[in-house]
């Protein structure tokens, strides 16, 4: 599965349903209609795509949006959420994490207290990392079969962020305002 096919599947699920759980169901069904090798390739592609936004700048964006409390796990789930926005917004975010300020999903959250965000609105999508494994297991009846298939192919299936780029204190309010001016205005942090 190449990256174009990956994005076709991702965006197809987005067009079929807006709710994250419904999108996962649509994606799972699509994957289950494909050969096992393509499910393995989907997972590998998901992590190649995710890796491009595993940066300190993107972690700072997540930190800003999450109100200054973005853990390792939260950043990991945030990365899958960015992938779930679709190719166009994702590519803009790769080039400039501050461009996430253009995402309608975030614009709806700006100015609202975090405690009012529903589960479906939170900018995280942990379950996207599991959908290929679920499809693989359902087809084969083998628990953790995708993990074994990835390993057999010599493919990496990471489970934690390892940000690239210049490391900096993503909780430094002044630096975040300088590097992410739009997100800082939408989701202001205090020092």
Q: Where are the domains positioned within the chain? A: 3-186
The more confident residue out of 19 and 123 is 123
Backbone angles phi, psi at 164, to 5 degrees: -105, 175
Task: Report d(CA 81, CA 55) in Å as an integer.
Answer: 15
Q: How many residues does the chain have?
A: 191
- Whether residue 190 is predicted with pLDDT greater than 90 in this model: the reply is no
Q: Output the pLDDT for position 174.
A: 93
In this prediction, residues 80-85 reach a mean pLDDT of: 96
Q: pLDDT tens digits, residue range 85-122? A: 999 999 999 999 999 999 999 999 999 999 999 988 99
List the one residue out of 93, 75, 111 whose CA is nearest residue 185: 111
What number of other Cβ atoms are within 10 A of residue 17's Cβ?
Answer: 14
Average pLDDT, the chain: 94
- Whether residue 182 is predicted with pLDDT greater than 80 in this model: the reply is yes
Q: Output the pLDDT for position 110.
A: 95
CB of 168 closer than 8 Å to CB of 175: yes
- Whether residue 64 is predicted with pLDDT greater than 90 in this model: the reply is yes
Residue with tokens 């996962």: 24
Q: Output the pLDDT for position 118.
A: 92
DSSP state of 101: G
- Whether residue 191 is predicted with pLDDT greater than 80 in this model: the reply is no
Least confident window among 9-23, 29-43, 64-78, 160-174: 9-23
Q: Output the pLDDT for position 96.
A: 98
Q: pLDDT tens digits, residue range 120-174? A: 899 999 999 999 999 999 999 999 899 999 999 998 888 899 999 999 998 899 9
Residues β-bridged to residue 164? 55
- Whether residue 71 is predicted with pLDDT greater than 80 in this model: the reply is yes
């Amino acid at each position: 599965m190449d990256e174009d096919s990956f994005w076709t599947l991702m965006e197809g699920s987005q067009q079929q349903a807006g709710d994250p759980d419904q999108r996962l169901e649509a994606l799972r069904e699509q994957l289950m209609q494909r050969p096992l090798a393509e499910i393995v390739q989907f997972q590998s592609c998901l992590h190649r795509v995710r890796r491009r936004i595993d940066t300190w700048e993107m972690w700072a964006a997540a930190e800003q949006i999450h109100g200054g409390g973005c853990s390792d796990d939260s950043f990991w789930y945030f990365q899958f959420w960015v992938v779930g926005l679709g190719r166009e917004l994702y590519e803009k975010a790769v080039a400039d994490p501050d461009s996430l300020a253009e995402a309608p999903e975030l614009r709806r959250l700006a100015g609202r207290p975090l405690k009012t965000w529903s589960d479906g609105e939170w900018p995280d999508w942990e379950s996207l990392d599991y959908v290929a494994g679920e499809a693989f297991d359902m087809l084969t009846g083998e628990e953790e079969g995708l993990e074994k298939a990835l390993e057999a192919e010599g493919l990496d299936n990471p489970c934690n962020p390892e940000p690239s780029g210049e490391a900096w204190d993503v909780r430094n309010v002044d630096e975040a305002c300088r590097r992410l001016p739009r997100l800082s205005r939408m989701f202001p942090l205090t020092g």
